[in-house]
Amino acid sequence: MYVIKNKSAKIVPCLLDDTDLPPLISDRSSVDLNDVGKGIEELLDNLTGQRTQRARLLAIQSALDDMDLEWITHPALPPMVCCPNCGGDKENLLPWQEIDEVRDDIYYGMRCKRCGWSNGGEI
């Protein structure tokens, strides 16, 4: 038997298909992730105990502040603490820039030197 010593720990079963919950956790309320958008919002409600978008955002910001994370900001991407593909730390993330002389556009992005992931866009 596993004992959770941290009383603030929370178990929120997430349904990915129509499979029933195992008997051990069948008495818990679950989050249906078959509709991802609605499911993520419901999961955030369960995890943060917050029911409004503003309250959820404040709880998330507070948690991020408590984690003392360093992230990379980029004009074409959201703040990143690691590669979203392989989890490589921020030292693996390299910004890139390309200029389209014909269209007179500048493209910015981020590339992971560990796995090769890349993403970006026009600014």
Which tokens belong to 43? 């999961």
Note whether 82 and 88 are within 8 A (CB): yes
pLDDT per residue over 18-49, tens digit each? Answer: 888 888 888 888 888 888 878 888 887 777 77
> To the nearest whole number, what is the mean pLDDT of the chain?
83
**CA-CA-CA-CA torsion sign (62, 63, 66, 70):** negative
What is the residue-level pLDDT of the chain in tens, covering all 123 positions?
Answer: 566 676 677 778 888 888 888 888 888 888 888 888 788 888 877 777 767 778 777 877 787 788 877 888 877 777 888 898 999 988 899 999 999 899 889 899 999 999 999 998 877
Model confidence, pTM: 0.48
The angle subtended at Cα 26 by Cα 13 and Cα 56, nearest 5°, is 30
Which tokens belong to 35? 């509709």
Give 119's strand partners: 110
Which tokens belong to 83? 């590669």
DSSP H helical ranges for 68-115: none
